[in-house]
Chain A
Amino acid sequence: MNTLEIENLSVEVGGKKILKDITLHLPGGETMVFFGPNGSGKTTLMLTIAGMPEYKVTDGKIVFNGEDITSMKVDERAKRGLGVGFQLPPEIIGVKLRDMVKICGGKNPREDLTREESELIERFNLGDFINRDLNSGFSGGERKRAEMLQLLAMKPVMLLLDEPDSGVDVGSLRLVGRELQNYLDSSGASALIITHHGNILEHIKAETACVMMDGRIWCRGDPGEIYDNILEKGYRGCVECEIRHPGEGL
C-alpha cells in the first residue's frame, strides 16, 4: 500500500523539456528526501505527481497504488490520498485558514471545528491565524506551518512536501518535524520531501535520498551520507562523483 512507481517520466513546462526519463520507486510507508540545485526540476517532479495541469507528461507514467494516475485531474489524485505541501502557496482572499482546515477534512467550511481539528491548530501554534485570509500577510515560516496543518487535516496516504523547512525557524522546524513524523508513524503514509537543508533529517526518519540534477535523478542512497557529501563538495562534487552509478536501482 501507498506505493508510488514512476517510470521513464519526461515532462514539459511551457514548451520546455524539464524532466528527462525519470524512474523512481517509493515503497509504501517509506520517506524519500530530494536534494538538488535550484532549477534542477524538484518542484516540477512533485507538481507533476500531484497533477498540476501546466506540467505536460510527454513520456512515461505515474502509478500510485497500482493505478495509473498519469492523466488524472488534481482533485481525483487528492481523493486517492495524495497531499501536496506547496513551496509557494497562494494567497486566497476571503478564504480563511479555518475554512481550509474544514475543506481539507472533506467537510463544509461553515461547520464548526471539531476538537481534534482545534487541537491540531493549537499544536501548530496557528490559533491566531485561523480567522485570517489564507496566507494573506503570513510570513514565510507561517505559510509553511499553515501548509503542514492543512495536509495533516487531509490525512493523505502520500505526502509530497516541497521545502517544508525553508524559512522555518529552529523551534518551528522541530515542531513541524515532530508532527510530521508522528503522522507518518501512526498512519503508515509515505512521503516525498524536497529540501535544501539536512536539518530536517534530525526530525524525520528517511529511508532514502535522491539528488536531482538538470531534470534527472542523478543518484540515490543513504540520506545522511548523501547530505554530508553535498555539504562537503557541493553539487559540483555530485557532477564529479565516482561512486555514482547512473540508472542503478532507480
Chain B
Amino acid sequence: MNEKKKVSSLTELPHGILEAAYKSGIDAREEERSGTYMYVDHSRVLSHINERFKGKLELLDTTEALKKYSWLEDYYWGLIDADKDEYTRRVDEKFGGYFLRILPGAKIEFPLQSCLMISSSGMEQRVHNIVIAEEGSEARVITGCTTHPDAKSGQHIGVSEFYIKKGARFNYTMIHNWGEDTLVRPRSVARLEDNSTFISNYVLLQPVKDLQMYPRVLCEGENATAGLNSIVYASRGSGVDIGSGIEFNAPGCRGEIISRVIALEGSRVTARGIIKGNTSPAKGHLECKGILLDDSSIIHAIPELVGARKDVDLSHEAAVGRIAEKEIIYLMSRGLSRDDATSIIVKGFLDVDILGLPEDLQRAVREILDKMAAGM
C-alpha cells in the first residue's frame, strides 16, 4: 500500500494491515472500542470515534490539534525536552501522531484503540502523541505498534506526553509487535495531578532488533497513584533496554513497577526501574523478575530506589534465573511433558492478569501468547 488512502472503518483496510494490527491487539470490529486511530508510516488513515462517545472525547492529528488550539502550545513538548536526544530532535522536525483529550468528567467504558504501523521496509516513522485526561475523567487506550508483514526493517520514534488531571483515571496499554529488524525509540512522560491514577502496561512478545525506552511518571499532585507494568518475551536475538520510572513529588503518592522478562535465543535485555521519593509520605514498590531459557541470553536487572525524605517507604524485589526445576517436575507429575510444563510456567510468568486489561484484550494477548508458546 503506497498511497495512504483515508478510510472510515478498519474493515476497509487491506487484509495484511488488519492482520498485523490484530496481532498488536487491535479489534477490527470496533464494537467494543470507543474509537480508533490508525496511523500508517507518516499518515493517518483512520480517525474515528464511536457515535455514543462523541462529545466525551476528542481525537485529532497532533498537527491539526496544534492549529486548532493555541493553548496546546503549553502542552506540546511540555514534559519532554525536544532537545533531549537525536530521536526527540528528529520528531521535532517532522512528525505525525495523535492528540487525544478525554473531556472533564467523561467516563468511557470501552477502550480507545490506536495503531501505529510501519508499512514498508526502511521507513522511519515519527509520531508525537499528546494525551490529556481532563479532571475526573476515566478512560483506557490500547496502542498497538506494529510492522506490516512485508516490512522487515524500519524505525519507529514516538514521543508521548500524558497529562492526567485532578481525579482522572487513565489506563494506557501498549503492545509492540515489530518486525525483527526494527529500531524502536519511544520517549514518554506522564504528569499526574492530585488524586489521579495512571496505569501503563507494556507488552512485547515478538522479536525486535533494538528497542530502548525509559518512560517516566511524575507524581506532581497529592495522592497520585502510578502503576507501570511490563511483560517482555525477548527471542531471536532481540536487543531490549526498557525501564520504568516513577517520581514522587507530592505527599501521599503511591506507585508500583512490575516487570517480567523472559529471554532466549541470544537476546539481551536490560530491565531498569527507578522510584524516587522526593516527598513523603510516599510508598513505592518495584518488582523485576527475569527468566533465562538458555545460556545464550542475558538479562541485566537494574532496580533503583532513591529516598530523600525519612518517611518514604520504598522497596524492591529482583530475581534473575532459570525456571524452578521443582515447578517443572510438579507439573510433570500431573502428566505434562517437560516442554509443556515449561511453556505453561513461562505463560504463567507472563500472566496478563497483572495488567488488569479489559477482558477482550486480555483474550487477544493470551491468544498471542499461546501462539508464541506453541512455537517455542
Which residues of A does B touch, CB under 8 Å? 50-53, 73-75, 77-79, 84, 86, 89-90, 92-95, 99-100, 103-104, 106, 109-110, 133, 150, 154
Contacts and interface: CB of A to CB of B under 8 A. Distances in A.
A74 B336 CA distance: 9
Nearest to B330: A90
26 contacts: A51-B333, A53-B329, A74-B332, A74-B333, A75-B333, A75-B335, A75-B337, A75-B338, A78-B332, A78-B333, A86-B330, A89-B330, A90-B326, A90-B327, A90-B330, A92-B331, A92-B345, A93-B348, A94-B351, A95-B344, A95-B345, A99-B348, A103-B344, A109-B344, A150-B334, A154-B334
Contacts of B348: 92-95, 99, 133
B350 interface: yes
A103 B336 contact: yes
Interface of B: 324, 326-327, 329-338, 341, 344-345, 347-351, 353, 366, 370
Nearest to A151: B334
Nearest to A84: B333
Contacts of A95: 331, 344-345, 348
Contacts of B351: 93-94
Contacts of B347: 94
A152 B92 CA distance: 63
Contacts of B333: 50-52, 74-75, 77-78, 84
B178 to A, nearest CB: 25
A100 B327 CA distance: 12
Contacts of B336: 75, 103
A104 B366 CA distance: 21
Main secondary structure of the interface of B (DSSP, over half): helix
Nearest to B331: A103
A154 B335 contact: yes
Nearest to A160: B333
A150 B345 CA distance: 17
B349 A94 contact: yes
A103 B349 CA distance: 17
Contacts of A150: 334
A104 B335 contact: yes
Nearest to B367: A110
Contacts of A51: 333
B357 to A, nearest CB: 15
B334 A78 contact: yes
A75 B345 contact: no
Contact of B370 (A84, A90, A92, A110): A110
A133 B351 CA distance: 10
B334 A94 contact: no
B245 to A, nearest CB: 25
Contacts of B349: 93-94
A84 B331 CA distance: 11
B334 A92 contact: no
Contacts of A99: 344, 348
